[in-house]
Structure 1
Amino acid sequence: MNLRWTSIAWSVVYLLLLLSFATPFSFITIFVMLLPGVILYTTLSLRAFLIHTAVVWAAASLLLSNPMIILVAVFFMIPVVVMGHLYKKKASALKVVAMGTGTLLAEFLLAFLAITVIFDFNLASSIEDTLNMMTAFMQNMADSELVATELVWSPEVAQQLSSLAARMTPFTMIVCSLLLAAVTHMIARPTLNSLGHAVPSFPPLRDWRLPRSLIWYYLATVLLMLFGSAALMEGFIGTILLNLSPMLNFLFMIQAASFFFFLAYHKKWNPAIPILLIIAMLFIPPLKIAGILDIAAPLREMITRSRR
């Protein structure tokens, strides 16, 4: 009986999240859009899950009178099934998040390709128009040429920024996919555990070790960006490097955070110290070198060996 009422409650949450796409709050609720479906798929039989989903979709269509909401629901249903199936199989947390991220990324790419081909959509031009419109609005609000002077804004600047944003689309899609999958797992795991469904967790952050091959990717990226020709950087290779560089930096920052917690654990430091170091790293990016060294050199072995 408790499971029945819990399922109904999560179905109501699922409906509210779908309805939120008709409001400005969708930019927030999208990050937990997978959660109700994952909970329902993991805790219910396939037949019960389909019934709950059909009722929620029908209610959302009637309340919004917009068939597009079903397309949104179908889009998010695929990673829901993937992650929920893995939870039922007791898969590792890394596999669940990785598969959820990969599924979302594939969907984002296919959706972007379909919009570009079917509607002849140009992302760079759309971003440029948006930037110009925002600038014009700011100038009208200020009613002064001072705004334009201080921003040093021009059509050329807008074009450069829009082109850069368009080329960074793959990185943006990867980050969004990872965030959606990670946030879903962070909330779903304790929720499912409380409902009697044991879900594996990630190992402690201090034990995370990223593959050493990342160092070679990083070196190749740095060398190509330093010595590559202008024509190379403007082409396909340049776009790859433009997206690969921030992704590698992000991974090195994660490794640095892991090393800070490892160091604090073995040195018996105050638990607040690694947190402060991570916050400092957000404002002082060169601190990520700790993550690079942690991958490239046996720093942890040296620390643990010195304690013996």
Structure 2
Amino acid sequence: MSKQITVNALVEGALLAAITAILALIGLWVPPLQFITNLVWTVPIVVVILRQDLKVGILATLVAAILVLLFSDPVRAFFLILQFGGVGIVYGVLFKKQTPPGKTVIIGSLVAAVSMVLMIVLSSWVIGVDFAQWTEQFSATINPVIEMYRQMGMLDRMAENGISEAQLRQTLEQVISWLQILVPGILILSAIVSAALNFLVARAIVKKLGFKVPYVPPFRRWQLPWYAAWGVIVGLGLVLFGDANQLPALRTIGQNIMYVYVPFLFIGGLSVIVYFFKERNWSPVLRVMIIIFVLFYWPVAVLILTSIGLFDPLFNYRKLGREMKE
């Protein structure tokens, strides 16, 4: 009997591995569809782990990886599997254990971030991509951009508004400088967002297939865990320590940590405001005033919401139960 079950598991794993490979290949063959396929091609891996076990899931992932490598550009296929394969396996295990959604997304995001770092390192080692030179190429775009503006007549219009070519160049140089510093953070943040979207898509599909999935609270009850504050403390500490001791590498690491954290703090703060909009009997006048303030003073509003998101896990403004923090 056990042999029959094993054979059934292998057959099911092979079938789902083939589906995984087909979805991944569609994204590689038809680039405009890759954003969509990247959200769904790991779902069969999650399903096979839920229906069978981790060993069959890993085996199915390896088979899918081999198929993708055989029928597409090996380098692109390798990096695609590296970026999302681990996330699919981790989600399968966590879904099977009924891990709370907050912890599931955090663990999946960490796996995605580590995968992105590995991709950056391997890109430098395997295909000879010099990351430093790659970021420096941003600076080479300034002159073509200014020339394009000149040909389109935009420089003349800017001059009418008191913006000279020198000022435009200085602004572009500042933007490029920040991009060069924050490229690692941008890549890691994109990986984390992909992991979060993968979770939502995988959960929705798995639920449709009849599997039991962890409950996801409504947006107004989302809350970061209290220990999320440590990321901000470490990031800000590295920035200050790097500035004080002339250590640009530490300062850059700290800036990237802060860049990755800020969007999640903003979402946490927005969740608090939405909660009070829904749960508290605020007057219509106050609601309209808040909306107008956000629309017309959005830089200040973003700062306020980010600050609320930072302190909410510590002070629990909404008095949410501990289960919301998991």
Q: What is the DSSP-based 3-state SS (H/G/I as helix, E as strand, rest coil) of the residue aligned with 2:190?
A: helix
Task: After TM superposition, give the deviation of residue 198 of structure 1 in Å.
Answer: 0.6
Superposed CA offset, 1:101-129 (max 9, x none): 11121122122223334555432422332
Amino acid aligned to 1:122: D
Superposed CA offset, 1:59-90 (max 9, x none): 545543x3335413531222211111221222
Work out the CA distance in 2 between the residues paired with 1:48 and 1:217. Answer: 36
1:109 to 93, 98, 117: 117
Q: What is the DSSP-based 3-state SS (H/G/I as helix, E as strand, rest coil) of the residue aligned with 1:91?
A: coil
What's the TM-score, normalizing by structure 2? 0.67
Q: What is the DSSP-based 3-state SS (H/G/I as helix, E as strand, rest coil) of the residue aligned with 1:202?
A: coil
CA spacing shift, 1:221–1:63, aligned 2, 3 Å: closer
Work out the CA distance in 1 between the residues paired with 2:293 and 2:273. Answer: 8
Task: After TM superposition, give the deviation of residue 32 of structure 1 in Å.
Answer: 0.9
Match of 1:152 in 2: 168
CA spacing shift, 1:16–1:146, aligned 2, 3 Å: same
CA spacing shift, 1:138–1:23, aligned 2, 3 Å: farther
Q: What is the DSSP-based 3-state SS (H/G/I as helix, E as strand, rest coil) of the residue aligned with 2:106?
A: helix
Work out the CA distance in 1 between the residues paired with 2:33 and 2:247. Answer: 35
Is 1:181–2:195 an aligned residue pair? yes
Is the 2:42–2:85 Cα contact (8 Å) retained in structure 1? no
Match of 1:305 in 2: none
Work out the CA distance in 2 between the residues paired with 1:12 and 1:134. Answer: 45
Match of 1:263 in 2: 276
- Aligned pairs for 1:127-166 (under 5 A) are 127-133=135-141, 135-136=143-144, 139=147, 143=151, 149=165, 152-153=168-169, 158=173, 161-166=175-180
2:205 to 191, 195, 198: 191
2:86 to 57, 60, 78: 78
Amino acid aligned to 2:168: V
Q: What is the DSSP-based 3-state SS (H/G/I as helix, E as strand, rest coil) of the residue aligned with 1:168?
A: helix
1:251 to 264, 284, 287: 264
1:122 to 109, 112, 130: 130
Unaligned runs of 5+ in 2: 1-10, 156-163, 320-326
Work out the CA distance in 1 between the residues paired with 2:103 and 2:125. Answer: 33
Q: What is the DSSP-based 3-state SS (H/G/I as helix, E as strand, rest coil) of the residue aligned with 2:213?
A: coil
Match of 2:39 in 1: 32
Superposed CA offset, 1:225-273 (max 9, x none): 6x77856465133113312333443233122122123213322569xx7
CA spacing shift, 1:211–1:97, aligned 2, 3 Å: closer
Work out the CA distance in 2 between the residues paired with 1:9 and 1:237. Answer: 44
Work out the CA distance in 1 between the residues paired with 2:313 and 2:197. Answer: 26
Q: What is the DSSP-based 3-state SS (H/G/I as helix, E as strand, rest coil) of the residue aligned with 2:215?
A: coil
Percent identity between the aligned chains?
17
CA spacing shift, 1:45–1:294, aligned 2, 3 Å: closer
